[in-house]
Structure 1
Amino acid sequence: MMRSLILVLLLFGISGQAQKAEVQQTIQTFFEGFHARDTLKIKSTCSDKLVLQSISESAKGNKFSEESPKEFYVSMATIPAEMQFEERILDYNIQIDGTMAHAWTPYEFYINGKFSHKGVNAFTLFKTAEGWKIVHLIDTRRK
C-alpha cells in the first residue's frame, strides 16, 4: 500500500514538472520571437484575445498603460535593425491549475548592451489543443 502511494505521488510530481516545463518553453519561445522581432513566432505563443499591460514606476509617479496586440506586433516589426535589445529572464515561478497557468518572471532589460530597466512579467496562460497560449501579460518597469 505504501509503495502504491509513493508511486502515485511520484507520478503526480513528474506530471506537474512536465507541465511547468511546457509553460516555461512557451514563454521562452515568446522571447525568442521577441528578440528576433519575429511577430509570427510571438503570435504562435499568444491567444487571439491577448491582453497586454504595463506599470511604469518612476520618481514622477506610476503609470498604467495598455497596448493592443496589433500595436505590439507593429511596434516589434518596426524596431530599427541596428537597435539590439535583450530581456534577461532571471527566474521562473510557475503555478498551474488544470488548464490555467501563471508565471512570474523577474527580468532585466538591456538596449545595445546597456542596462535600461528591470521589473517582473506576470504571464497568464491557457492550455489549448495546440498547447499553452499566453492570454495576459502585465509587466512592471523601473530604473
Structure 2
Amino acid sequence: MKTILFLLLVVPVFGYAQKAEKKEVRRVIDQLFEGMRKGDSSMVRKTFFPNATLNTSFVNKKGEAKFHCDSIHSFLNAIGKPHEEVWDERLLSCEIKIDDNLATVWTKYAFYVDNVYSHEGVNAFQLVKTDGSWKILIITDTRRKNNSKIK
C-alpha cells in the first residue's frame, strides 16, 4: 500500500517537472530563431554554450555527401551583420528528449528569406543545463533545396 501511495504522489510530480524542463528547452530553441528573425546576435548568443559548434550534412551538386563544421562565432557574426532580409526558420515539428542535464531536440524545418522558400531539412540539437539554464552545445542540420521530403 505504501508503494502505491508513493507512486501516486511521485509520478505526477516527475511528469510535471519533465514537462517544465521541455518547455524551458523549447524556449531556448524559440529564442534562437526569434533572434535570427530579428537579426539580433546578442539574443542568439544567449542561447549557446561557449564554443558551441554548428554542423551541416548535405549533398552537393555532384551528388556527393559532404559535412561542414563551423564555430558559433561566425554564425553570430552573420546574424549580427546588418541585412535587410528576414531569416525565418520555421519549425514543422519538434521532439524533445531529456535525461538529467542533457537534452536532444529533433526538428523538421523550412527556411525562408523574406517569405521566399530557401531550403529545408532537419535540425538535431544537443543542449546542456549548466548553472540552472539550458544552452545549445551542438546543432547538426541537413539541408535540401526541394520540398518533397519534409511534410
5+ residue gaps, structure 2: 146-151
* TM-score normalised over the length of structure 2: 0.87
Deviates more, 1:103-112 or 1:55-64: 55-64
Distance 1:85 1:122 in 2: 19
- Aligned-pair CA distance for 1:110: 1.1
Distance 2:10 2:72 in 1: 42
The Cα RMSD (Å) is 1.4
- Aligned-pair CA distance for 1:11: 1.1
1:89 to 68, 88, 91: 91
Q: Partner of 2:129 in structure 1?
A: 127
Encode CA deviations 1:6-65: one digit per residue, 9 max, x unaligned: 221111111111111110011111111111111111111101120111112355222211
Distance 1:79 1:52 in 2: 21
Q: Partner of 2:149 in structure 1?
A: none
Distance 1:49 1:80 in 2: 25
Residue pair 1:58, 1:142 contacting (<8 A) in 2 also: no
Alignment length (residue pairs) = 142
- Aligned-pair CA distance for 1:90: 1.1
Residue 125 to residue 37, structure 1, CA distance change in 2 (3 Å): same
Residue 130 to residue 37, structure 1, CA distance change in 2 (3 Å): farther
Distance 1:76 1:133 in 2: 18
Distance 2:46 2:132 in 1: 10
After superposing on structure 2, the runs of 4+ consecutive aligned residues of structure 1 that deviate more than 3 Å are: none
- Aligned-pair CA distance for 1:130: 4.3
* TM-score normalised over the length of structure 1: 0.92
Counterpart code for 1:103? V
